[in-house]
């Protein structure tokens, strides 16, 4: 039986999962790397560290499956990773400067310029999204404006996972799902938009070839294969952006099912057979990893990231914090948290939004604050789900994925706040698992994405909403929705003072 290895170039580290053709995860490896914040609102990483971590995790899982029961041949590698980032290469293929990441907020002036240059309505019609600070196009314009010497060297712009592909295979390639988060893609054509590139004075030749996610997009180079213990010519699937790849691994490839991911960011993801675009720009319209299909995403920038911040501030570990939170009643006795620690994406698209605890009293404890934080994250994601439903895409079941899927409290809170059943997966290894399934299609061991997604099996028992908690959350959610509108002007004043 063959295996495919999924490789995820995440924000906190690289992760590899070896998956056999029956969908079983046989070996897992992870390797962290740092997030660089040289200035307030900046978020960068060194692509060389991605490559070193990728080699380490690939070598580990390949060694383990090769030594397991006489060895299993590796049929393919599938790639996934954090979306929207910009890796700038010169004509020799060398990295010009550290990569700008999805959560980098420095490009406010550039997003305004793009909107003025193209026109907001026209941009949304072509790309499916407004200009946002996290996307790749504003980062290219920032390089032009702020580092002209680096811009003059620019020959190629890649997304994070595609830089690792370049080191693996020597190919400059991407996939439609990841490319849809750049603002350079024509969403309906599933290829680069000459109109947008021309309007932004960006050479379309800087951008890699676009494939569908399960297509082979290069083979591992002989020298790299030898170092990893691979045979010659192992194909590398085009892969997908992290959320689209994760959707393959959670079976979110049909109407009626959505996923809720609690990682550093939080994402609600719903499948759509045709492009559905939010004219208000509150939720994202992207290409799916399913060829020819689309998806809607709502993003909370600081989901698990809010809890990690709180862990670091309090000096307590996750287990202690969530145990305290579980002992607090639903609604945290009138305490609310706005999770805008790094600005916000959905539905406000506001890089200057600020986080806050609201409603503190002398009665509130650390447990109250932890539970309010978790509830606030899910209120934010519920707003995104409601924006998706308003576009006619109405899931009836949520599949939990990401780090939050392993927490009974996170799952119960999702069921109560979303007001629908929440199921976890029998195998929940995130985006890397979906990338491995795409690799099996590229390598020919699975026929198509439908067969691959059928291997994603939810557990039988779901977390069901508690009617008593639902009632509490309905009242609290109404206050939560009003708080952003009431406080946004003061958030923006504080951001200006910080700058």
323 and 179 together in one domain: no
Q: What angle do CA 93, 105, 192 make, to 5 degrees?
A: 50
Q: What integer is the mean pLDDT of 94-98?
A: 98
Position 323 confidence tier, pLDDT thresholds 50, 70, 90: very high
pTM: 0.90
Give per-residue pLDDT as tens, 222-260: 999 999 999 889 999 999 999 999 999 999 998 888 999
Q: Are residues 19 and 158 in the same domain?
A: yes
**What total of structural domains would you count in the chain?**
2
Mean pLDDT calculated for residue range 329-340: 97
Does 449 map to a domain?
A: no
**Token pair belonging to 208:** 């890699």
CATH of the domain at 194: 3.30.420.40
Q: What is the pLDDT of residue 426?
A: 84
Looking at the domain assignment, is residue 185 inside a domain? yes
Average pLDDT on 50-59 reads 98
Q: Would 157 be classed as within a structural domain?
A: yes
Give 341's strand partners. 343
Evaluate if residue 410 carries a pLDDT over 80: yes
> What is the per-residue pLDDT for 61?
96
Q: What is each CA distance from 402 to 23, 104, 266, in whole angstroms? A: 18, 21, 9
Instruction: For residues 322 and 403, state if they share a domain.
Output: yes
Does 428 have pLDDT greater than 90? no
Residues 202 and 343 in one domain: no
pLDDT digit string (tens) for 105-125?
Answer: 899 999 999 999 999 999 999
Are residue 463 and residue 349 in the same domain, yes or no? yes
Instruction: Convert the pLDDT of each residue in 170-189 to its tens digit.
Output: 999 999 999 999 999 999 99
**N- to C-terminal Cα separation, the chain:** 57
Q: What are phi and psi of 157, to 5 degrees?
A: -125, 125
**Which has the closest alpha carbon to 186: 85, 272, 285, 86?**
285
The reply to whether 491 falls in a domain is yes
One domain, residues 359 and 286? yes
| 435 is a domain residue | no
Residue 288 tokens, joined: 């799916």
- Which is the catalytic residue, given 242, 278, 416, 463? 242
Q: What is the pLDDT of residue 70?
A: 54
Together in a domain, 267 and 411: yes
Whether residue 467 has pLDDT greater than 60: yes
Active site includes 175? no
| One domain, residues 236 and 256 | no
Q: Examine the pLDDT at 431 and tell me if it is beyond 80.
A: yes
Same domain, 410 and 266: yes
Please indicate, yes or no, if residue 174 is contained in any of the structural domains. yes
Span 410-425, mean pLDDT?
Answer: 94
pLDDT at 66: 83
Q: What is the pLDDT of residue 69?
A: 53
- Looking at every residue in the chain, the average pLDDT score rounds to 94
**Can you say how many angstroms the Cα of residue 483 is from the centroid of all Cα atoms in its chain?**
26
Residues 66 and 121 grouped into a single domain: yes
Last residue of a domain, one of 197, 215, 246: 246
Query: pLDDT digit string (tens) for 182-213?
Result: 999 999 999 999 999 999 999 999 999 999 99
pLDDT at 118: 97
Instruction: Tell which of 246, 273, 299 closes a domain.
Output: 246
* pLDDT tens column, 21-36: 999 999 999 999 999 9
pLDDT value of position 406: 85
**What is the predicted pLDDT for the residue at 199?**
97
Task: Tell me the average pLDDT across 6-29.
Answer: 95
Q: Does some domain include residue 447?
A: no
**Domain encompassing residue 165:** 3-246
Give the domain-ending residue among 246, 274, 292.
Answer: 246
pLDDT level of residue 279 (50, 70, 90 thresholds): confident
Asked whether residue 224 falls in the same domain as residue 351, the answer is: no
- Inside any domain, residue 198: yes
- Report which of 3, 7, 19 is spatially closest to residue 57, judged by C-alpha positions: 7
The pLDDT value recorded for residue 346 is 86
| Pair 31, 122 in one domain | yes
pLDDT of residue 79: 98
């Amino acid at each position: 039986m063959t295996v495919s290895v999924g490789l995820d170039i995440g924000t906190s580290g690289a992760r590899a999962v070896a998956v056999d053709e029956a969908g079983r995860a046989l070996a897992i490896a992870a390797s962290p790397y740092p997030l660089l914040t040289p200035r307030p609102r900046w978020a960068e990483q060194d692509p060389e560290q991605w490559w070193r971590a990728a080699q380490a995790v690939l070598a580990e899982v390949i060694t383990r499956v090769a030594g397991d029961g006489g060895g299993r041949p590796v049929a393919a590698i599938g790639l996934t990773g954090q979306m929207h980032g910009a890796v700038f290469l010169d004509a020799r293929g060398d990295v010009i400067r550290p990569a700008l990441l999805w959560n980098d907020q420095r490009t406010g002036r550039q997003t305004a310029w793009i909107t003025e240059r193209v026109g907001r309505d026209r941009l949304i019609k072509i790309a499916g999204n407004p200009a946002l600070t996290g996307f790749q196009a504003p980062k290219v314009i920032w390089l032009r404006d702020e580092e002209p010497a680096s811009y003059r060297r620019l020959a190629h712009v890649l997304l994070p996972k595609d830089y690792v592909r370049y080191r693996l295979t020597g190919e400059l390639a991407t996939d439609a799902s990841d490319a849809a988060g750049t603002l350079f893609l024509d969403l309906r054509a599933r290829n680069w938009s000459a109109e947008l590139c021309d309007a932004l004075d960006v050479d379309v030749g800087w951008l890699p070839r676009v494939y569908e996610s399960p297509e082979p997009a290069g083979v591992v180079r002989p020298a790299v294969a030898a170092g990893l213990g691979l045979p010659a010519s192992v194909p590398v699937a085009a892969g997908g952006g992290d959320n689209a790849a994760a959707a393959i691994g959670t079976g979110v490839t049909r109407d009626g099912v959505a996923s809720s991911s609690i990682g550093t960011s939080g994402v609600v993801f719903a499948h759509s057979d045709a492009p559905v675009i939010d004219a208000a720009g509150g939720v994202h319209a992207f290409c799916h990893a399913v060829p020819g299909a689309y998806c809607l995403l709502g993003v909370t920038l600081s989901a698990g990231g809010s809890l990690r911040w709180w862990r670091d501030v309090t000096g307590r570990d996750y287990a202690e914090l969530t145990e305290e939170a579980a002992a607090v009643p639903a609604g945290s006795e009138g305490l609310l948290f706005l999770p805008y620690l790094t600005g916000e994406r959905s539905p406000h698209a506001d890089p200057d939004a600020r986080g806050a605890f609201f409603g503190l009293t002398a009665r509130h404890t650390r447990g109250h604050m932890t539970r309010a934080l978790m509830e606030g994250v899910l209120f934010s994601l519920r707003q995104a789900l409601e924006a998706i439903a308003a576009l006619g895409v109405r899931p009836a079941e949520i599949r939990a994925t990401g780090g939050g899927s392993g927490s009974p409290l996170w799952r119960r809170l999702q069921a109560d706040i979303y007001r629908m059943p929440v199921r976890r997966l029998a195998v929940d290894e995130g985006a890397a698992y979906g990338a491995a399934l795409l690799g099996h299609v590229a390598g020919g061991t699975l026929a198509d994405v439908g067969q691959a997604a059928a291997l994603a099996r939810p557990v039988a028992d779901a977390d069901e909403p508690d009617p008593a908690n639902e009632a509490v959350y309905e009242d609290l959610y109404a206050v939560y929705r009003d708080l952003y509108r009431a406080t946004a002007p003061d958030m923006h004043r504080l951001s200006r003072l910080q700058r």
